[in-house]
Amino acid sequence: MAVRSILIYPDPILKQISAPIEVVDESVVAVIQDLVDTMMASGHSVGVAAPQIGILRRIVVVDVSKSKLGKDNNHGLLEMVNPEIVEKSGNKMMREGCMSVPDYTGNVTRAEHIVVEFADRKGQSRVIEASGFEAVAIQHEMDHLDGLLFLDRVSSLKTDLYRRKTK
């Protein structure tokens, strides 16, 4: 459909809670496609959430299959409507970045293994188990639905936040 502009922190929309989707209809599918197009066009993103394009709805897309960290353990392109983590275990600290916070990365601790329920673009209910980098990416994108950025999860802004290197 369309590559959309990414909102940059401190845009106030990024700090708001997204509304659940009642019915997966054509408008929801259009948002999903815009998210996929935007993620793919970035060339480096492994996920994007609807609030990042200014839409306060509970929709995220994640695909870690082209990343060196996720290429061996992934479900391919995940299009998730109303995702909910129903089980989590373990802890994993990883350096995270975000298209909405382009100048920084930070160390964040998240669950290493998760079970997620969601609806797909056809409105079908799905449940998946994810681990490692894919689990981290899903949790990162789901945080956007609750108005959270990785900055909110960095334990120390002094020691765990890093200025991104420019190429």
Q: Active-site residue numbers?
A: 141
What SS3 state is found at 98?
strand
**What is the Cα–Cα distance from 111 to 77, expressed in whole angstroms?**
20
Give yes or no for a contact between 58 and 20, defined as CB atoms under 8 angstroms apart.
yes
Which strand (E) or helix (H) includes residue 159? none
Cβ-contact 13, 54 below 8 angstroms: yes
Give residue 101's identity as a one-letter amino acid code. V
Distances (CA, A) of 114 to 7, 69, 86, 117, 133: 28, 17, 8, 10, 11
Taking the C-alpha atoms of residue 150 and residue 167, their distance in angstroms, rounded to an integer, is: 22
